[in-house]
Chains A and B, each alone.
Chain A
Amino acid sequence: MRETRLWSWHLLVIPIIIVLLGAHFAVMHYAPVFYGVSVEKAREFETMIERGKSITQFVLYILLLAAALYHGLYGLRGIIRELPMSPALGKIVDMSIIGLGLFIFAFGTYVTWWTFSFKIGG
């Protein structure tokens, strides 16, 4: 694939990451500032499950996961492949990064789905 296409996606996901990661920080780390709830409360199991059961949160988390993984792993691939290596090794790096990304995405999606479908008291 043309590198321009890969790089354009690397840029296109930036606004998504900024907005959603900002929201994630606000909810998890700055709950007292934005919601008047202590950080401890925001991180309690019950609160976390309650948040995770919202369909909006479910969709946004998957979106953030995909965007951040693509942006981060594309950057990491760039850094690794700037090291001297043969084209064959470069291909192996590319494949490994894609594999790692897909695995983490599948795992993260599974955890998010687990939270979304969690039955309280069940």
Chain B
Amino acid sequence: MSDKTITPREITFRVRRFDPDVDSAPHWSEYRQHVHDGMTVLEALHQLKAEQEPTLSWRSSCRMGVCGSCGMFVNELPMLACQTQVLHLGTDVVTIAPLPNYDNVKDLVPDLAPLIEKHASVKPYIIYLDQIEIDEPTGEFIQTPDQREEFSQFTHCIKCGLCLAACPTVATDPLFLGPQALAQAYRYTADNRDCGMKDRIEAIDIFHGPYQCHLAGACSQACPKGVDPAFGIQLLKRALVLDNIGFGKKKSSVAKVMPLADVVKAIDEFAPPPRTVVK
């Protein structure tokens, strides 16, 4: 990072504005504002709203890259406003627009409903064959660290929707399930506790499913949590092909239930060390 990029200075913010009650199409407004080192795009927007433009709208919540609310198109890339520092962008003009490929509700607010609907459509939960075990558990599922590693990367998704904003297929195909939902379909399919491939196939093995991903890689570049959805989709394709030719996950490879008595024994074996500070 050169000195210039972190020198506090005046920055021009070009913000795309749209008010459905007034505007028929979006327009750009410019604001100049002093930015200090470490200031995030989200903080800059708060300052803009407080000092210059009280009607400016966006969506945000946790301001720490966890809730996935503040996705925006900053300097022509989808980013989380809360974890993007203005001076690190390295430009004197910062453009901020709502995420592409979503309906624009107002100013910087995208309508993320399709993202959530697509996510829900791939059955993003563990489907276990033995319903009695689910209703009245007799123990805990066994899962080794290696088995968890198979999918744990994909559990980090915060559903911010940046990946869909980057995806070229989503740009034209509103029915394409998109990187987020497909990576989540893989996350559950790869889980050794899951037996849901058969149930999920109906939702994912369709034209608008994984095969409309052509590995442009933009979703993985955009992902702010290192989930790498493009990777999940390619692994999902492989899993589907193997399943189609009869080499899918076998029933015998599905997680076994460890009886509660053994669980208690295991807990004793891996008990935490005794307290060093007495209350």
Interface positions of A (Cβ within 8 A of B): 2-5, 7-8, 78, 81-84, 90
Contacts and interface: CB of A to CB of B under 8 A. Distances in A.
Contacts of B241: 4, 7-8
Contact of B172 (A2, A3, A82): A82
A5 B237 CA distance: 11
A4 B243 CA distance: 9
A96 to B, nearest CB: 15
A4 B207 contact: no
A83 B211 contact: no
Contacts of B173: 81-84
A83 B169 CA distance: 9
Nearest to B209: A3
Contact of B176 (A3, A4, A82): A82
13 contacts: A3-B205, A3-B211, A4-B211, A4-B240, A4-B241, A5-B244, A7-B241, A8-B241, A8-B245, A78-B211, A81-B207, A82-B173, A82-B176
Contacts of B260: none
Contact of A2 (B174, B205, B212, B237): B205
Label chain A's interface by main secondary structure: helix
B266 interface: no
- The B contact surface, by secondary structure, is helix
Contacts of B201: 2
Contacts, number: 36
A4 B212 contact: no
A3 B206 contact: yes
Contacts of A3: 205-207, 209, 211
Contacts of A5: 244
Contacts of B243: 4
Question: Lowest 8 A-B CB distances belong to which pairs?
Answer: A7-B211, A82-B173, A4-B244, A4-B240, A2-B205, A82-B172, A4-B205, A3-B205
Interface string B201-240: 1000111010110000000000000000000000001001
A8 to B, nearest CB: 6
Nearest to A1: B205
Interface centre among B174, B201, B205 (most CB of A within 10 A): B205
Nearest to B174: A84
Instruction: Among A5, A7, A8, A78, find the residue whose CB has the most chain B CB atoms closer than 10 A.
Output: A7
Contacts of A81: 173, 207
Contacts of B240: 4
Contacts of B172: 82-84
Given A2-B201, A82-B173, A84-B172, 17 more contacts: A2-B205, A3-B205, A3-B206, A3-B207, A3-B211, A4-B240, A4-B244, A8-B241, A78-B211, A81-B207, A82-B169, A82-B176, A83-B172, A83-B173, A84-B173, A84-B174, A90-B207
Contacts of A83: 172-173
Contacts of B176: 82
B205 A78 contact: no
Nearest to B169: A82
Contact of B244 (A8, A78, A84, A90): A8
A31 B29 CA distance: 63
B22 to A, nearest CB: 28
Contacts of A78: 211-212
A78 B213 CA distance: 10
B96 to A, nearest CB: 27
A119 B256 CA distance: 71
B212 A82 contact: yes
A2 B200 CA distance: 12
A48 B228 CA distance: 52
Contacts of A90: 207
